[in-house]
Amino acid sequence: MKKIYFPVIAFVFFAFMASGLVSCKKGGFFTPTSTTNLDENTIFRDSLNTTAFLANIYSNVGLSFKYDRFIFDPFGKAIPTGGLESASDEAESPNQNSSTALAFATGTINSYSVTDDAYRIPYNNIRAVNQLFRSIVKTPIDQSLKDQMIAEAHFLRAWYYFILLKHYGGVPIVGDTLYNYTDEINTQRATFEQTVDYIISECNIAEKTLPLTQTGSYFGRASGSACKALRSRVLLYAASPLFNPDPSVNANFPWKNADATVRESIAYANYSASRWAAAKNAAAEIIQAGTFSLNEDNASDPGKGFRDLFPKRTGNPEYIFPWMFGDNTYVENLFYPPSRFGANGAYPYQGLVDAFLMSNGLPIDDPASGYNAADPYANRDPRLNYSIIHDQTLVNVRTVNGLAQDPTPIDIYVLPNGIGAGQDAFPTGTRTGYYNRKMYDPTAVPATLFYNSKRVIPLMRYAEILLNFAEAKNEFDGPGGTTDSVYSCIKAIRKRAGISAGADQLYGLKPGMTKEQMRKVIQNERRIELAFEEQRFWDVRRWGIAEQTENITAQGMKVTRDSDTDTTPTYEVVNIKRHTFRAPAMYLWPLPQNEVDKSDKLKQNPGY
């Protein structure tokens, strides 16, 4: 049998540090460290080098989240084409050249063109974890610190296997084995169940040693609560129809007609409602511990707690596992309108804008909501204005020297002759009539050295846990009464959002909802609360609704004013791009063809 080389198993020591990933403070744990000229003994016989080696494994935890994950690279000049938001019904790619994002949006994704980052990078880091396990015995540090580092590495191994799982389903599990270039590697995929069980076991091992939370210079490193949160997410996915074959769900899932050699790699063999119970209990464990809470501050401005959540690094009650950056303008550089020195971020679609509720908690298509199509942004859920920039949204102006001026409106409108009002206007500034505003820090100035944000990216936060619990409990027990915990979770999130409670204190929810009605509420609440947080792409797939949500003509908004002083514009919803979802294939990612070609044991996902 020929030797098989995992793409990921390079027998070298090297820094995994992602560009822009720096310490919270100079010299801290997440400081970029080059180890390219160091061998095994040099690294692991030095405590600082060993610590840096572990920090390097953390560097790609945000791989799947990255807003500039996908690129068009014609001549070695990487041009961002967005992240998973651009590969779904959330947003339009900032660049229309070929990329994985565009291929998912247009239904042309295949095993030859798909990026291999979700396969290559996790296995690279899994190998680094195994190297740490083998060699840390040589490191001259206290055993208690070694034990914590080993526990963190177990969590990170679970994290990278989950990245593999959500992209591909079951994958080869290498355990603690450390392969060399010349080793023959068994590339047979584990079953979906085995992969889930392995991830959970890694979380359980790590949780026994790690503190419940990490603070100070350890903030951002794996904690016991991060283990619990990852377990909650994994079990929620495992209970969902994409992987838990529920015969009542009418979707063309890959497992339905899959070859026997791959069938159990992409889903459980049989449906079990108990998986929803396991997901419910995992989320409940975090809620009942009382360690985390929603970031609430609505006294001065409805929704202020939601707005201020994201730029808040220290003292943030909601962040369970953040992707650490140093002071940065990562979000602003991508998403700010051109007049604010931004560029190359994805543009939100009208469908996402329409999903936001009214301030009374009712959807815009409810006759009692008060929605006015001639004034579409009035009296809306405050999260809309804190997540999306539309025509005339007030945005802080900061000069390159950091001096603040009064907020001024973003002019996205066009004049009757079709000429845009300026560089921010539709369609030359934004392809959809919108810009993303979520996670902005009003004190940050794009591309400056001194006016940066202390923001870190929330890979797992408490609002998700509330939504995980609500979904799993609704599926297993039903919604219950209006004081039931399913209602309570949604009400808590809407209260923090700044939605009015109403006379019935239900924040727009209807009493006596059925499981099916509550399911739609929860799905929409996840769409708006977790927008641009790498959730939507996976959610519509695991729910089995991607064939409806992704086979669409994505739309935007054209605002026309008779003059620069016109206060009564017209609003026209316009078509932007036809999206295509090929079922069953696109419910999962294709394994990179260059990996499948290396071994007849590595079976491709159905449809590719």
What is the overall mean pLDDT for the chain? 91
User: Reduced to 3 states, what is the DSSP secondary structure of residue 167?
Assistant: helix
Asked if the structure places residue 13 within a domain, the reply is no
407 pLDDT above the threshold of 90: no
Q: What is the reported pLDDT for 75? A: 73
Give residue 394's domain range: 56-607
pLDDT 10s digits, 350-396: 999 999 999 999 999 999 999 999 999 999 999 999 999 999 999 88
Residue 184 pLDDT more than 90?
no
Position 224 scores a pLDDT of 98
The answer to whether the CB of 355 falls within 8 A of the CB of 88 is no
Q: Residue 26 — very low, low, confident or very high, per pLDDT cuts 50/70/90?
A: very low
What is the pLDDT, as a whole number, of residue 451? 82
Inter-axis angle of helices 485-497 and 462-477, to 10 degrees?
A: 150
Distances (CA, A) of 507 to 355, 377, 484, 487: 16, 19, 14, 10
**Residue 15, in any domain of the structure:** no
Q: Return all residues near 155 (Cβ < 8 A) that are at least 6 apart.
A: 202, 203, 206, 210, 222, 226, 227, 230
The confidence score (pLDDT) of residue 1 equals: 34
| Of the candidate ranges 27-36, 250-259, 398-407, 409-418, the one whose mean pLDDT is the lowest | 27-36
Range with the poorest average pLDDT among 230-239, 296-305, 476-485: 296-305
What is the average per-residue pLDDT within 11-19? 33
Whether the per-residue pLDDT at 348 is higher than 50: the answer is: yes
How far is the C-alpha of 353 from the C-alpha of 349, rounded, in Å?
7
**Any idea which of 148-152, 305-309, 400-404, 588-592 has the lowest mean pLDDT?**
400-404
CA distance linking residue 392 with residue 390, whole number of Å: 6
Q: Which residue is associated with the tokens 């603070």?
A: 215
Report how far apart, in Å, the C-alpha atoms of 576 and of each of 95, 351, 375, 431 are. 13, 11, 22, 8
From CA 115, how far away is CA 589, in angstroms rounded? 10
Pairwise CA distance, residues 99 & 584, whole Å: 21
Q: Which value, to the nearest 10 degrees, does the dihedral of the CA atoms of residues 293, 299, 304, 308 take? A: -60
Q: What is the pLDDT of residue 572?
A: 98
Digit-coded pLDDT (tens) for 427-463? 999 999 999 999 999 888 777 777 889 999 999 999 9
Task: Return the structure tokens found at 49.
Answer: 């080098």
Q: Is the pLDDT of residue 587 over 50?
A: yes
- Percent of the chain exceeding pLDDT 90 equals 81
**CA–CA distance from 465 to each of 65, 212, 316, 432 (Å)?**
18, 16, 15, 31
Asked whether residue 3 is assigned to any structural domain, the reply reads no
CATH number, domain containing residue 89: 1.25.40.390
% helix / strand / coil in the chain, to the nearest 5?
A: 40, 10, 55
Task: Tell me whether residue 39 is in a domain.
Answer: no
Of 167, 169, 171, 192, residue with least CA distance to 114: 167
Confidence of residue 38 (pLDDT cuts 50, 70, 90): low
- Report phi then psi at 248, rounded to 5: -85, -10
Residue 418: burial class (beta carbons within 10 Å; 0-12, 13-18, 19+): exposed
Q: Is pLDDT of 31 > 70?
A: no
User: In the numeric block, which tokens belong to residue 508?
Assistant: 């727009």
Task: Give residue 10's pLDDT.
Answer: 33
More confident residue, 494 or 22: 494
Strand partners, 99: none
- Residue positions counted in the chain: 608
Q: Angle between the 274-289 and 462-477 helix axes, to the nearest 10 degrees?
A: 140
Read off the pTM: 0.94
Domain count of the fold of the chain:
1
Tell me which residue of 207, 284, 251 sits closest to 468, measured CA to CA.
Answer: 284
Q: Is residue 4 part of a domain?
A: no
pLDDT of 29: 64
**Secondary structure class of 107 (helix, strand, coil):** coil
Q: Quick one: tokens of 405?
A: 């001026």
Average pLDDT of the residues in 58-73: 94
Q: Which residues of 467-505 are buried (b: 16+ CB within 10 A; e: fewer)?
A: bbbbbbbbbbeebeebebbbbbbbbbbbbbbbbeeeeee
9-23, 277-291, 337-351: the lowest-pLDDT one: 9-23
> Does residue 325 fall inside a structural domain?
yes
> What is the amino acid identity at position 19?
S
**437 class by beta-carbon count within 10 Å (0-12 exposed, 13-18 middle, 19+ buried):** buried
- The verdict on residue 564 lying in a domain is yes
Question: Is residue 356 one of the residues assigned to a domain?
Answer: yes
- Contact assessment for residue 317 and residue 305, using Cβ atoms and an 8 Å cutoff: no
Model confidence at 298, pLDDT cuts 50, 70, 90, reads low
